[in-house]
Structure 1
Amino acid sequence: MSRKALILLEGSRSNGPLYVQAAQRLGLHPITLSADPARYDYLAAESIETIRVDTDNLDALIRECSRLRTTYDISGITSAQESAYATVGKLCQHFNLPGPNPESIERCCDKFAQRQLLAQAGVPIPAYRVAANAADVERAAAEIGLPVILKPAVGNGSSGVRLCRNVDELTEHTTYLLGGKHIWWSSPRILVEQFAEGPYYSADTMGYEVVGISAAEFGQPPHFVFRECTCPAVLTDDDYKRIADLSLGCLQALGLGWGPTNIEFRWTKLGPVVIEVNPRLSGAPDPQLLQAAYGVDLLTEHIKLVIGEEWDLRRRHSHTAAARKLVADRDGILDWIAGESQAAAVSGVAEVRFYVQPKSPIVRKGDYRDCIGYLIAASPSRARTEAVLQQAADLIGWSITPFPTGEEETISGQQTCPTSGGDST
């Protein structure tokens, strides 16, 4: 009998290793198809079978998967990357495997199209416009009123997203986005969006079931870099239901409902508004946070769905889990980072993970890549969880030597996945 394999299209530094480990726990042989396998250091470190292939070429992927089927029983195909998820859906359709609807994924990944569909369905969202040039941006901001959010119409992880509080910031970020420094996933289009002020929440769903609702805090504006996340969010039953009902409304409006989705909200003076719908599993540490809070392993349950097995989203317990992101306060060379084992030994700590090694260049980008690591704590008590998290965070530290003048631009231009963190958190 052929060995059962799970095809992983591309990878990621956060959820990539977790998908590999979950597949192996389920008795599957993970195979990663990537245009540049060297981007993911865990593949070589764990001796994961990897094949170099142009992942933007659907025909090339079909040929490679067909070749693999002569050796393996391909049980499923999925990805940890949003940019590859529509292609995953097309491959699943070709090979008659369970998978997401690629047309729905593509519409959802286009933030302008997503907002049009949500607005048509009556889902509350911020005012928005789409812009192709600087004049369009200026006009849209004037119509909406400052402050506004500028973001690429296609992208994720808050890359290229900035709060513009005045005309100077608006001009500066427009120039950055359209001036050749930002890497576009598609033709350059900028979404100009009303800044929805209020507490941030996110709902993680699987199928049409809301698995959990979390709260999070960001670092200092104008960027949106997560600093701390807590699950479950402190909500009344009525407020929980409002967010849960809105989440299901988003899935229906966007034609989703197969597999995992992460939906972001701001609770404004007018109530909850939808900021973004992400048609895939949220990146680490969100899945681990849900597992620590409820005992539900979303990665494993997602793979079960992918391979056509029955999933199980029943909660095993009800704890409060909190994650602290480690974010640097400067650019430079990371001299040292320490405290992982000491923090992990604190009772109640569920996980400590560093993304970087000493001597790594740190170039902050104001997005998800600024995180150099995280830690998670959990307990039956919210107060206890917060105390454990702080105790563990106090044991972690690092030192960064600033770049010599001019070197930062060189390093930044060379770096494909820049990161950053903080001296102590």
Structure 2
Amino acid sequence: MAIRALILIEGTRSNGPLYVKAAQRLGLHPITLSADPARYDYHAPVSVEAIRVNTDKLEALIHECSLLRATYEIAGITSADELVYATVGKLCRHLNLPGPNPESVERCCNKFTQRQLLAEAGVPIPAYHLAANATEVERAGAEIGLPVIVKPAVGHGSIGVRLCRDADELAEHAAYLLGGKHMSRSSPKILVEEFAQGPYYSADIMGNEVIGIAAGDFGPLPHFVFRGYSHPAPLNDGDFKRIADVSLSCLRALDLGWGPTNIEFRWTKRGPVVIEVNPRLAGGPNPRLVQLAYGVDLVTEHIKLAIGEEWNLSRRQSNVAAARFLIADRDGVLDWISNGDHAAAVPGVAEVALYVNAKTPIVRKGDYQDRIGHVVAASPSRTQTAGILERAVDLIDWSISPFPTLGEKGQSAASHLQAAAQAVLQKR
């Protein structure tokens, strides 16, 4: 009998290892297809077959899967990476395997198209305009009214997302985005949006079922870098239902409902307003929080769906789980980061992850890549969980030295910046 394999197309630093481990627990042999397998450091601690292939080309993936079928039974194909998720759907369709609707994923990943479909369905969203040049950006800002959110029309991880509070900031950020260097696969078009103000929530959905709603908070503006989030959000039954109802309206409007979806909201004077619909699991430690809070393993259940097995989304427990992110406070070279093991030993801490090693160049971008680690804790109460996180985070310390000036040790600050950019690409 052939070995049953799960094909993983690309991956992410946070969720990629979860898919590998969950596949192995289900008795599957995980195989990663990647344009650069070496950039996923989760291949090192576990035995994972990794094959180099151009994952931008559907034909190349079809060819590689045809070769693998000579040795393995391909039980399913999936990914934790939004950038290739539409291609995953096309590959599954070609091989007659369960998978997401690729057309729906592509429409959803274009933020402007997503906005149009949600607006047509009457889903509450911020006012918005699409802009292709600096003049259109300026006009959109004036029509909507400053401050506005300015972001790439295609992107993820808050890359290139910024609050522009005046005309100078608007012009500066538009020039940056139109330069096209912020993200390799991004569209040159820009989305200018109303700044929807209010508490942040996100709904974690599997299929057509809202599993849980999280609350989150951010670091200082003008960027949107998460400081932390928690499951469940402190909502009464009525407010939970309002967010859940709007979430299901999003699925209908975007023709989603197969597999995982994460929907981000701001609770404004109008109630819940949709900021973004992501046709995937939330990144970072969020799947771990869902498992700790409700007993639902979203990654495992997603894999079950991908291989055609019955899933189980029933809640098995009721805890408060929360994550706190460690965020670099300056640019420079990380001298050291310590006491992660001490933090992990605090009762109630479920996970401590440090993303960077000593001597890593740190260049803050104002997006998810500014985070250098996280701590996850869980307990039966919100107050207790908050106290556990505070004790654990206070134990972790680090030092960042300024980049050497030109001539010091034969290396300039510019070379450090280049090294940092390369490190970011390798850890995407």
Give the structure-2-normalised TM-score. 0.96
1:61-210 aligned within 5 A: 61-210=61-210
Question: 1 CA distance for matches of 2:249 and 2:10?
Answer: 30
2:352–2:374 Cα contact (<8 Å) kept: yes
Matched position secondary structure for 1:352: strand
> What letter is aligned with 1:374?
H
Query: How many angstroms does 1:52 deviate by?
Result: 0.4
1:32–1:48 Cα contact (<8 Å) kept: yes
Q: 1:264 to 1:41 in 2, by over 3 A?
A: same
Aligned residues: 419
Task: Report whether the alignment pairs 1:418 with 2:421.
Answer: no
Deviation per residue, 1:168-212 (Å, 9 max, x gap): 111111111112432242441000000000000000000000000
2:26 is matched with 26
1:254-403 aligned within 5 A: 254-403=254-403
Question: 1 CA distance for matches of 2:274 and 2:315?
Answer: 26
1:295–1:316 Cα contact (<8 Å) kept: yes
> What letter is aligned with 1:148?
V
Query: How many angstroms does 1:46 deviate by?
Result: 2.4
Query: How many angstroms does 1:418 deviate by?
Result: 3.1
> What letter is aligned with 1:136?
E
1:362–1:418 Cα contact (<8 Å) kept: no
> What letter is aligned with 2:424?
P
Q: 1:401 to 1:186 in 2, by over 3 A?
A: closer
Q: 1:285 to 1:163 in 2, by over 3 A?
A: same
1:252 is matched with 252
Q: 1:142 to 1:417 in 2, by over 3 A?
A: farther
Deviation per residue, 1:210-267 (Å, 9 max, x gap): 0000000000011100001011001111100000000000000000000000000000
1:150–1:162 Cα contact (<8 Å) kept: yes
1:369–1:417 Cα contact (<8 Å) kept: no
| Runs of 4 or more consecutive aligned structure 1 residues displaced over 6 Å after TM superposition | none
Deviation per residue, 1:103-135 (Å, 9 max, x gap): 000000000000000000000000000001111
Query: How many angstroms does 1:273 deviate by?
Result: 0.3
Aligned-residue sequence identity (percent) comes to 70
Matched position secondary structure for 2:182: coil
Question: 1 CA distance for matches of 2:133 and 2:197?
Answer: 26
1:370–1:418 Cα contact (<8 Å) kept: no
The farther-off stretch of 355-364 and 69-78 is 355-364
2:322–2:378 Cα contact (<8 Å) kept: yes
RMSD after superposition: 1.2
Question: 2 CA distance for matches of 1:180 and 1:56?
Answer: 19
Matched position secondary structure for 2:193: strand
Query: How many angstroms does 1:47 deviate by?
Result: 3.4
Question: 1 CA distance for matches of 2:207 and 2:346?
Answer: 36
> What letter is aligned with 1:413?
Q
Question: 2 CA distance for matches of 1:4 and 1:46?
Answer: 18
The farther-off stretch of 405-414 and 103-112 is 405-414
Question: 1 CA distance for matches of 2:208 and 2:74?
Answer: 26
Query: How many angstroms does 1:96 deviate by?
Result: 0.5
2:409 is matched with none
The farther-off stretch of 355-364 and 40-49 is 40-49
Matched position secondary structure for 1:416: helix
Question: 2 CA distance for matches of 1:235 and 1:48?
Answer: 41
Matched position secondary structure for 1:418: helix
Matched position secondary structure for 1:394: helix
Matched position secondary structure for 2:43: helix
> What letter is aligned with 2:246?
L
Question: 2 CA distance for matches of 1:30 and 1:408?
Answer: 41
1:412–1:418 Cα contact (<8 Å) kept: no
Question: 2 CA distance for matches of 1:412 and 1:113?
Answer: 35
